[in-house]
Amino acid sequence: MEFVKACLDALVPKNHPLMVINEEISFSFVYTLLKPYYSNSDEGHPPIDPEILFRIVFLSHFENLSYRETVSRLQHDVLYRAFTGWWEPSHPHHSTLSRFLDRVGSEPIAEAFNRVVFQARKSGIITDRISAIDSTIVESHANKYRLWFEGGSPDPDAAWTKKRGKSYYGFKAHTACDVDSQMVTTVSNTPANQSDMTHFEPVVDENAEATTADKGYSSRKNRALLTGKRQEDCIIPKDNEKVQVDKEKTKQRTQVERDYSVAKGHHRLQVTISWGLERFNIQSYFSFLAWNAKCWVKAILGKPCHILKEKCA
């Protein structure tokens, strides 16, 4: 064991983002959280530790790799093995990850996301000074020809919507983010045809001192909701509304758009990975969890992850 530790110290940079995440964010709750989804029977081959599988899926989203690519690199990448805790001679089959996610479903993954947010809040990284709410469309990878000409879809939970004259078929990820830390603090997913205005309440962060959103969320009901929660109302008013809000705080709403840009470009949120709202829930939670971990590293070391990775190369 001492030899293995010496090798790790020599081969794995301690300031690599994955090692910082491993040190700063505790995933110890995962085993307890997922234990109810596994049989207590001693019969058959022992299952892979659920925390290891959770970490491999997280790694897939953090590194923007498919499950197949991730487990393939796990075979020879010491950094990946050190992060996941996988030290078996061979690597698990990529289909094991899909079966794992089918087994546990989205509910415990959502709770895992919430627990990491709680850790960030407890560490003082999330300030709760102001929360920004918005949504982003994530297209289904369903075959559009079949949708348009054959009248069917393998992804029946998805729905059509139109934005700026362009039609999309898929889902919406509704989120709130802490403006100061840039971390996503709440997530709620729907088919793409769900109105933003009517899906405001599920993503309001109860801990925020103020909440901002674009004028598409502006309604008496949503403003009354924030008043009832004793939060400062910073929703951008519509042109015909006579509502006074803090304009400096409303300008900070655009932070949430950066979250979506990075999550889609670097954490596997560009299109759906699997069919159905249940699997999209899992995908979005892991994508935003990867983004939050990246924000955590920046808060600790003061530099973006891509710069830290380059220094470790």
* Tens-place pLDDT, residues 257-282: 889 999 999 999 999 999 999 999 99
pLDDT of residue 3: 54
- Average pLDDT value for residue range 146-160: 76
User: In the prediction, which pLDDT does 38 show?
Assistant: 81
Asked whether residue 40 carries a pLDDT value surpassing 60, the answer given is: yes
Contact assessment for residue 213 and residue 134, using Cβ atoms and an 8 Å cutoff: yes
- Both tokens assigned to 93: 């089959």
* Residues 287/85, Cβ–Cβ less than 8 Å: no
CATH 3.30.420 residue window(s) in the chain: 125-274
Mean pLDDT of the chain: 90
Q: Which fold, 125-274?
A: Nucleotidyltransferase; domain 5 (3.30.420)
Question: In a 10 Å sphere around its CB, with 0-12 CB exposed, 13-18 middle and 19+ buried, how is residue 108 labelled?
Answer: buried
Residue 151, pLDDT > 80, answer no
pLDDT for 253 beyond 80? yes
Q: What pLDDT does 60 receive?
A: 97
Alpha helices by DSSP H, listed for 123-162, are 144-145
**Are residues 287 and 267 in contact, defined by beta-carbon separation less than 8 angstroms?**
yes
Percent of the chain's residues with pLDDT above 70:
89
Contact 55, 81 (CB under 8 A): no
Measured from the Cβ of residue 39, the count of other Cβ atoms closer than 10 Å reads 8
Q: Distance between CA 87 and CA 77 in Å, rounded?
A: 11
Q: Are 139 and 159 in contact (CB under 8 A)?
A: no
Alpha helix stretches (DSSP H) within the chain: 2-11, 17-24, 29-34, 50-62, 67-74, 78-84, 94-104, 106-122, 144-145, 220-228, 247-250, 255-266, 277-301, 305-312
